[in-house]
Amino acid sequence: MLTISKRGTIMPASPIRRLVPYAEAAKRKGTRVYHLNIGQPDIKTPEVAIESMHNLDLKVIEYSHSAGNESYRKKLAEYYQTIGIQINSNQLMVTTGGSEAISLTFLSCLDPGDEVIVPEPFYANYYGFASSTSVKVVPLTSDIDSGFALPSFTEIEKLITPRTKAIFICNPNNPTGYLYTREELEQLKEIVIKHNIYLFSDEVYREFCYDGATHTSVMELEGLDEHAVMIDSVSKRFSECGLRIGMLVTRNQAILETALKFAQARLSPPSLGQIAGEASLNTPNDYFVEVNTEYNKRRNFLVEELNKIPGVYTPMPKGAFYTVAKLPVDDADKFCQWILSDFSYKNQTVMMAPASGFYITPGKGIDEVRIAYVLNIDDLRNAIETLREALSVYPGRTNR
């Protein structure tokens, strides 16, 4: 009997997309579904990017260099320098989305069976990238009651074993919206230097910081040239998820040389995406001011309204455009399916991501959901009203 690979067997399905069939069935019945489950912004892509596609004068759409177009890499280096990250164009690689940047980092730095410590809850696909490269994720559990703050130095060191090769953070965090402080990053720096391990940092939500808070990159920390790898992407910053353009950034030349060998095997990152990505670097600053202001309004509205619902609690996220909310339900996975398949209010319903899919510690996140505030406030208002009504009649509601 033919079998599929063990790697394929353990590869997890996306908890963010698992409920898609139920959402599609609801839509076929004529129900409007408010998508709060996925980080797909409704913000317009910068005009300079769209114009670059309209004004193409190409006879042939060619392969690029495996590390990305030189003109794009030079312009990216200039961009990073303006935000305090001092690198040159030979210290970054253009990838097929931030996803490939993570996979190339794992393949270049970690062997099968090596361990990477990741604060949980974490972006679900991290576990998928680890599974596909035979790397073991060791969860460092944070708690909703502390706003998902980074656990103490002592708690982190307890998890370090001879197989530990890296700590991997997302800053600002998906799914929690937690923003790491410089002090926390300095703490992580001490740990990775002490134990001679890597520090990987997914910084694709860098521009989305609120309440006057500022983002600190691992690339700004002194003494981490050999340890730090930054993951980046155009997807969220410029609302260009479909371009599939990301970046792997490090001063460790051995990592870049190794990653390039893997990149050469896939030939090149998307040529058209690079053209639009390069043009996006000319986006005026007003664009980011407007976007940040809009997300700040959505965040404030969503968090305030969620916390008004009896039994619901969510902390105030400091960055990105997600929050994790605790619901008065026995099982958030069942509730998220039920609200799509068996409930509607004013002919509308809500799609959310069960938070259990963002943990690997058994039992964690069972009554939590991740909500992405990527819809306008009118849609958010309708979605929250629908959620409130659903919770009031849900058969599995708990009284806590």
pLDDT score recorded for residue 17: 76
Both 64 and 16 in a single domain? no
- Which of 280, 307, 327 represents a domain boundary (last residue)? 280
Q: Is residue 400 part of a domain?
A: no
pLDDT score recorded for residue 8: 85
pLDDT score recorded for residue 39: 87
Both 21 and 70 in a single domain? no
How many structural domains does the chain have?
2
Helical axes 271-280 vs 47-54, angle rounded to 10°: 140
* Percentage, residues of the chain above pLDDT 70: 100
pLDDT score recorded for residue 15: 72
Q: What global pTM score does this model have?
A: 0.95
Both 147 and 245 in a single domain? yes
Both 82 and 137 in a single domain? yes
Q: Which residues contact residue 377 at a Cβ distance below 8 angstroms, ignoring those fewer than 6 apart? A: 297, 298, 301
Both 269 and 132 in a single domain? yes
Could you tell me the residue range of the domain that residue 37 belongs to? 6-44+286-393
Q: Is residue 293 part of a domain?
A: yes
| HEC readout, the chain | CCCCCHHHHHCCCCCCCCCHHHHHHHHHCCCEEEECCCCCCCCCCCHHHHHHHHCCCCCCCCCCCCCCCHHHHHHHHHHHHHCCCCCCHHHEEEECHHHHHHHHHHHHHCCCCCEEEEEECCCHHHHHHHHHCCCEEEEEECCHHHCCCCCCHHHHHHCCCCCEEEEEEECCCCCCCCCCCHHHHHHHHHHHHHHCCEEEEECCCCCCECCCCCCCCHHHCCCCCCCEEEEEECCCCCCCHHHCCEEEECCCHHHHHHHHHHHHHCCCCCHHHHHHHHHHCCCCHHHHHHHHHHHHHHHHHHHHHHHHCCCCECCCCCECCEEEEECCECCHHHHHHHHHHCCCECCEEEECEEHHHHCCCCCCCCCEEEEECCCCHHHHHHHHHHHHHHHHHCCCECCC
- Which of 264, 280, 296 represents a domain boundary (last residue)? 280
Instruction: Please compute the mean of the pLDDT values over residues 281-305 and round it to a whole number.
Output: 97
pLDDT > 80? residue 16: no
pLDDT score recorded for residue 398: 86
Both 150 and 215 in a single domain? yes
pLDDT score recorded for residue 339: 98
pLDDT > 70? residue 400: no
Both 342 and 254 in a single domain? no
pLDDT score recorded for residue 9: 86
Q: Is residue 399 part of a domain?
A: no
- Which of 280, 298, 318 represents a domain boundary (last residue)? 280
Both 165 and 133 in a single domain? yes
Q: Is residue 65 part of a domain?
A: yes
| Mean confidence (pLDDT) of the chain | 95
Both 338 and 220 in a single domain? no
pLDDT tens profile 317-348: 999 999 999 999 999 999 999 999 999 999 99
- Between 239 and 6, residue with greater pLDDT: 239
Both 333 and 199 in a single domain? no
Both 59 and 38 in a single domain? no
pLDDT tens profile 112-141: 999 999 999 999 999 999 999 999 999 999
CATH number at residue 39: 3.90.1150.10
Both 169 and 275 in a single domain? yes
CATH number at residue 250: 3.40.640.10
pLDDT > 80? residue 222: yes
pLDDT tens profile 353-371: 999 999 999 999 999 999 9
Q: Is residue 1 part of a domain?
A: no
Q: Is residue 232 part of a domain?
A: yes
